[in-house]
């Protein structure tokens, strides 16, 4: 028989760091993805390039909010990367 442990409020653990996630900017303005219409916010990568973040993936750890890159869950992400390659 499977061990079904039920978590309660006191045993909840904060989520772990995820690959491809960025801190949600405090002054972030909600926008919509031009391809799929999902709610996103914009931040900048460490080297300065803009990065869309997916609102649907928000997690809070240590009082800070983190989101995954929208490229991770946008159904049209591949088309955007192909368009960028063509314009280079």
Number of structural domains found in the chain: 1
Whether 16 is covered by a domain: the verdict is no
Which residues span the domain enclosing 74?
21-87
- Return the pLDDT at 21: 87
Model's pTM, two decimal places?
Answer: 0.70
Whether 3 is covered by a domain: the verdict is no
- Return the pLDDT at 29: 85
Q: Is the distance from CB of 58 to CB of 65 less than 8 angstroms?
A: yes
Whether 32 is covered by a domain: the verdict is yes
Whether 1 is covered by a domain: the verdict is no
Give the helix ranges, DSSP H, for 1-88. 77-87
- Return the pLDDT at 67: 92
pLDDT higher than 60, residue 33 = yes
Q: How far is CA 54 from CA 14, 25, 46, 62, in A?
A: 19, 12, 18, 20
Whether 8 is covered by a domain: the verdict is no
Q: Is the distance from CB of 40 to CB of 52 less than 8 angstroms?
A: yes
């Amino acid at each position: 028989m499977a061990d079904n442990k039920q978590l309660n409020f006191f045993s909840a653990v904060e989520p772990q760091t995820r690959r491809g996630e960025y801190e949600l900017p405090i002054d972030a303005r909600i926008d919509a993805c031009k391809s799929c219409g999902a709610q996103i916010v914009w931040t900048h990568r460490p080297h300065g390039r803009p990065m869309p973040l997916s609102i649907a993936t928000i997690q809070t750890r240590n009082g800070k909010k983190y989101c995954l890159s929208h490229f991770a869950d946008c159904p049209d992400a591949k088309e955007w990367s192909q368009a960028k390659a063509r314009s280079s």
